[in-house]
């Protein structure tokens, strides 16, 4: 669904903001027209497994910690009341993991996978930070060489 037209160009093109209302996958792309068209398959999650609010909260908290560790600004509208919180978490961060989240058809699985992935990202970011701190001290903890 087109939500906003950002800019109109003299040649008839537009810069637009869209929002997906239903999940789909692209079956075929048609680029013979002036604009890109596709044949799609609409789908829903396979199951409506509920996710414990504690797991959603853990994913959201980890997302905030990862953003801080990676020095990434979180979106202003980042909330935990999303019906499919996994998408909000994945969209908020620069993760190579996003495609897997999009392809998974279970919210429960997506959230648990994100918690595991974010915990690993956070561990790596913290380890990198410790190494950088140690490098600044020339390998001597507590003494800076600056």
Per-residue pLDDT in tens (0 to 9) along the chain, 146 residues:
889 999 999 998 889 998 878 888 899 999 898 778 999 999 888 876 778 889 989 998 999 899 888 888 887 777 776 678 888 888 888 778 888 888 888 999 999 999 999 999 899 988 888 888 888 777 666 555 55
Residues with Cβ within 8 Å of residue 33, at least 6 apart in sequence: none
Residue with tokens 């140690």: 134
Global pTM reads 0.70
């Amino acid at each position: 669904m087109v939500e906003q037209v950002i800019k109109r160009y003299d040649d008839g093109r537009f810069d637009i903001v869209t929002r997906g209302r239903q999940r789909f996958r692209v079956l075929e792309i048609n680029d013979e027209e002036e604009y890109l068209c596709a044949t799609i398959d609409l789908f829903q999650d396979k199951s409506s497994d509920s996710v414990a609010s504690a797991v959603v909260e853990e994913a959201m908290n980890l997302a905030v910690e990862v953003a801080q560790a990676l020095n990434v600004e979180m979106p202003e509208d980042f909330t935990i009341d999303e019906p499919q919180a996994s998408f909000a978490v994945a969209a908020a961060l620069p993760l190579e993991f996003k495609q897997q989240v999009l392809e998974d058809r279970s919210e429960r699985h997506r959230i648990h996978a994100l918690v595991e992935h974010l915990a690993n990202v956070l561990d790596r970011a913290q380890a990198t930070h410790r190494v950088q701190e140690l490098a600044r001290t020339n390998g001597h903890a507590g003494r800076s060489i600056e």
